[in-house]
Amino acid sequence: MTYILAFVFVLGVLVFVHESGHFLVAKWVGVKVKVFSLGFPPKIIGRTWGGTEYRIGALPLGGYVKMAGDNPMEATGDPEEFMSHSKWERLAILLAGPAMNIVLSILILTTLFMVGVERPAGLDDPVDVRFVAEDSPASRSGVQPGDRITRVDGDPVPSWKAALDKFIVSANDTLILTIERDAQTIEFPIEIEARGDEEIGYAGLFPSIQPQVAALFEDFPAERAGMQEGDIITKVGGKAIFHFTELIEGIEARGGEPVTLGVLRDQESMEFTLTPQREDGRWLIGINFNVTPTVLFRVTNPVLALREALGETSRFTRLTFIVLGRLVTGRASLNTLSGPVGIGVAAGETARRGARQLFMFMAFLSLNLGILNLLPIPLLDGGHMTVIALEGLAGRDFSLQVKERILQVGFVMLLVLMVTVLAVDLSKIDAIGKYLPW
């Protein structure tokens, strides 16, 4: 139920904001709006007010604004019709929907940054490699702990965030890493792997991610020794660790012998000696830990929070266009796409992690919706805007036959895209995916 409610809430808000943009600008320039609908038919409820019927449809997968004369084949020349208005006014109406989604995204992000959001620690730190996963692209390319990565494919990467942005959109690509090691500058080629259902790029190199205790199991060695939630484990047997796998390997390697853990608690270093116990074929000390420790990121100044929001918006927009470009050229898998099923699952998962995570997801989905609607695909806002712009450049309106053909092509394109995205969504569900041929 959480997934369904989160999906309806998130998509409902985004669709309402999007269609409100079209609606408000249409009213402003004098276009008659016949229907404002949240959801698609069949209609559940409707009420007419001010010449517009406001509806709620049974299918919560989108919405629409029906304007008088918005179909060129049905236009009569009435001054209140969409086609009777100037190209600039029509462009403004079409642009308003995606623009409202982008503005909503910026407002949500600004608010979240002012309230404070949890995000992985160390994202803004220099790219100092502390751990290289075994049999990973990084280990095979020769990257070592202690290396500092300064460039990826010639582009500066001043922080882990910048480097990870490069990696995640480069699945199955070969990148050139520029590394500083022992006062020398070296270059390594690295073949980025594809990981997970979405085939996210994976390099296998990490910053210092010292495990932080999230929970203690009752009457297990860690609790008996006096460890507490929030403790950060920095050493195993006197050896510094920089990744949670080193903790696991260090405990397993001792085969049940007592082990001393170095811990950082409230900036104070301390040690605990404990003896692991055997459970289900493994040596355990009885803790759950945060794989990626987080820090509270908060900007109380509204202007600075807005600047951070604009920076995140710009970053996500750039990544979106990179992925779209890779999809078009066949360099990215269709598994990177998500439709209603994928959005519903993501909305439910983020809702379970708290309101802030849900609104963060909503912000980026709203931005994504705004960007995609600006693409020059027939039937989408961007497609209609492209036709109007081409008519302006040509100095004449296209014939009804041409416009009808454009709509037909757009319908087929959207239908193919919807079926493809749905199939990709279903293939990610194990119980269904095993019956699909891809």
The amino acid occupying position 114 is: M
Instruction: Count the residues in the chain.
Output: 438
- The answer to whether the beta carbons of residues 83 and 384 sit under 8 Å apart is no
| Tally of CB atoms within 10 A around 175 | 21
Chain centre to alpha carbon of residue 148: 27
Q: Parallel, antiparallel, or unpaired for β 155-156 and 174-181?
A: unpaired
Provide the angle, in degrees to the nearest 10, between the axes of the packed helices 340-352 and 355-373. 150
Helix or strand run (H / E) with residue 265:
strand 259-265
* Catalytic site residue from 19, 193, 246, 312: 19
CB 149 within 8 A of CB 163: yes
One-letter amino acid at 56 equals I
Q: 19, 104 in Cβ contact below 8 A?
A: no
Neighbours of 136 (CB within 10 A): 17
Spatial neighbors of 231 by CB under 8 A, at least 6 apart, are 212, 213, 263, 264, 265
Give yes or no: 19 in active site: yes
Retrieve residue 281's tokens.
């074929």
User: Are 327 and 336 spatial neighbours (Cβ–Cβ below 8 Å)?
Assistant: yes
Task: Quote the CA–CA distance of 359 and 18 in Å, as a whole number.
Answer: 17
Nearest by Cα to 173 from 207, 134, 210, 201: 201
* 3-state SS string for 130-193: CEECCCCHHHHHCCCCCCEEEEECCEECCCHHHHHHHHHCCCCCEEEEEEEECCEEEEEEEECE
Tokens (6 digits) for 349: 């998962």
Active site residues: 19
